[in-house]
Copies of this chain bind each other. A is one copy, B any other.
Amino acid sequence: MAKIAVLGYGVVGSGTVEVFYKNKENLEKKAGEPLDIKYILDVRDFPNSPYADKFVKDFDVILNDPEVTVIAEVIGGLKFSYGYVKSALEAGKSVVTSNKELVAAKGAELLQIAKDKNVNFFFEASVGGGIPIIKPIHACLEANEIDEIAGILNGTTNFILTKMIREGMDFGEALKIAQELGYAEHDPTADVEGIDACRKICILASLAFGRHVYPENVHTEGITKVTLSDVEYVESYGAKIKLIGCARREDNDEISIGVFPAVIKDESQLAGVNDVFNAILVRGDATGDVVFYGKGAGKLPTASAVVSDIVSAVKHSDTSRSLTWQDSTQDFIRPFDRFDCAHYIRISANDDSAVKETVKNIFGDVQFLVTKNQSKGELAFVTSVMTEQEVKTKCDDVAKQGAEVTARIRVLDY
């Protein structure tokens, strides 16, 4: 009999308890032994809950109960979680978590403790909600060298961009609807500025490339500057604007990594990912591109990933030491100035042949884009592949010719 404790009875916590008891019989078959939730930790009281007798307010009750072998941390944030998870692992208990902030900030340290103590630290729910992605990368694609990972990792921003693309809403309107529907928080910063997506690409990159990538070292841009005008130009290019987190293996044992709005061609499996859905593309040297798609958030999808990790933690009570990565100085992260890709650029300038000549002289071979509602005095085009540094210099050169660059969005090729 494995006894479990759930830390936090918010949306994901209550979902975890719900999914656990709904599928208990089947989960026990999978785990190979009886399972039960012994404690639920929450500062609030739930006197009318069917699980009222399980609630505790003191984490030490859980920590000091040798019967508890697996702890599910679904509180979120770092304030309480980090201390709880660390002491649980140190006490020889396995931990599963949905907390991307915790894994992105402290993953290497916590994985090392888990390894030292011969227990598990699993975090399937931290990326992609109910989409299986951590375990497939770790336990299904291990015969590949992973060359790139790219994903639509944040449902809120994907919902907003979908509204802009499909219904011609501007960013502010679309955000307001996302807030009304409960997809965006009252303070939407973590979503719309790319912070949430950044934590997730850090976790995926750490897993795929074996060294911890800390969020503060990742170039991160949100979607607040994406305009309807850009959406339309990009549409004329046969593409969509998506908020992408991406990481790729470079030469010299370096990686490139970033989070930013990107132009994605309609043929890509990522272009058709709409609303609050997420998708993650993994490019392996043997298997080619594999894409995982589904609901990236939500009570039951996320809870189902937490519960699956609970079963794995019980079942592989001593066999998952290979799920790990090294802490590392961050010098393997290539400076973002050297990131190379094509660029969509919009400039304020007359659409006449002289300006076009100037653009060609500076950017070389470009593809000009035309839309129905194109403003006079505006020109948009897509460049060939060049580094950040190169494109910035060229944008400065264009500005010197009196044409202001009003938008630049990277074009990715997935």
Chain A residues with a Cβ under 8 A of chain B: 19-20, 23, 26-27, 29-32, 124, 129-132, 135-136, 139-145, 267, 269, 272, 274, 284-295, 298, 300-301, 303-305, 307-308, 311-312, 315-316, 319, 321-322
Whether the Cβ atoms of B288 and A290 lie closer than 8 Å is: no
In addition to A269-B293, A289-B295, A292-B293, 10 A-B residue pairs with Cβ atoms within 8 Å of each other are A19-B143, A124-B140, A131-B290, A135-B136, A135-B139, A141-B304, A141-B308, A288-B294, A290-B295, A291-B291
Given A23-B143, A321-B32, CB of A291 within 8 Å of CB of B294 = yes
Whether the Cβ atoms of B130 and A136 lie closer than 8 Å is: no
Q: Which residues of B contact A124 (CB under 8 A)?
A: 140
Given A269-B272, A286-B301, CB of A136 within 8 Å of CB of B143 = no
Whether the Cβ atoms of B290 and A291 lie closer than 8 Å is: no
Name the residue on B nearest A324 (C-beta): B29
Name the residue on B nearest A29 (C-beta): B322
Docked Cα-Cα span, A311 to B294, in Å, equals 27
Tell which of B284, B295, B308 touches A143, judged by Cβ atoms closer than 8 Å: B308
Whether the Cβ atoms of B291 and A293 lie closer than 8 Å is: yes
Name the residue on B nearest A291 (C-beta): B293
Pick the most buried of A124, A144, A287, A319: most chain B CB atoms within 10 A of its CB: A287
Copy number in the complex reads 2
Tell which of B30, B142, B274, B284 touches A30, judged by Cβ atoms closer than 8 Å: B142
Whether the Cβ atoms of B140 and A132 lie closer than 8 Å is: yes
Whether the Cβ atoms of B308 and A140 lie closer than 8 Å is: yes
Q: Which residues of B contact A293 (CB under 8 A)?
A: 269, 289-293
11 contacts across the A-B interface (CB closer than 8 A) = A26-B145, A27-B142, A27-B143, A132-B136, A135-B140, A136-B136, A139-B308, A142-B311, A144-B304, A286-B301, A316-B319
Name the residue on B nearest A312 (C-beta): B139
Given A269-B272, A293-B293, CB of A141 within 8 Å of CB of B145 = no
Docked Cα-Cα span, A286 to B94, in Å, equals 24
Name the residue on B nearest A31 (C-beta): B322
Pick the most buried of A267, A285, A308: most chain B CB atoms within 10 A of its CB: A308
Given A287-B295, A316-B316, CB of A136 within 8 Å of CB of B142 = no
Pick the most buried of A129, A291, A303, A312: most chain B CB atoms within 10 A of its CB: A291
Docked Cα-Cα span, A291 to B270, in Å, equals 12
A301–chain B nearest beta-carbon distance, Å: 5
Name the residue on B nearest A136 (C-beta): B132
Q: Which residues of B contact A308 (CB under 8 A)?
A: 139-143
Docked Cα-Cα span, A49 to B20, in Å, equals 53
Tell which of B31, B294, B322 touches A289, judged by Cβ atoms closer than 8 Å: B294
Name the residue on B nearest A316 (C-beta): B319
Q: Which residues of B contact A144 (CB under 8 A)?
A: 23, 304
Q: Which residues of B contact A286 (CB under 8 A)?
A: 19, 130, 300-301, 303-304
Name the residue on B nearest A18 (C-beta): B286
Docked Cα-Cα span, A144 to B136, in Å, equals 17
Tell which of B142, B289, B321 touches A26, judged by Cβ atoms closer than 8 Å: B142
A110–chain B nearest beta-carbon distance, Å: 20
Q: Which residues of B contact A304 (CB under 8 A)?
A: 141, 143-144, 284, 286-287
Q: Which residues of B contact A31 (CB under 8 A)?
A: 322
Whether the Cβ atoms of A130 and B303 lie closer than 8 Å is: no
A400–chain B nearest beta-carbon distance, Å: 43
Q: Which residues of B contact A145 (CB under 8 A)?
A: 23, 26
Q: Which residues of B contact A26 (CB under 8 A)?
A: 142, 145
Q: Which residues of B contact A20 (CB under 8 A)?
A: 143
Docked Cα-Cα span, A135 to B140, in Å, equals 7
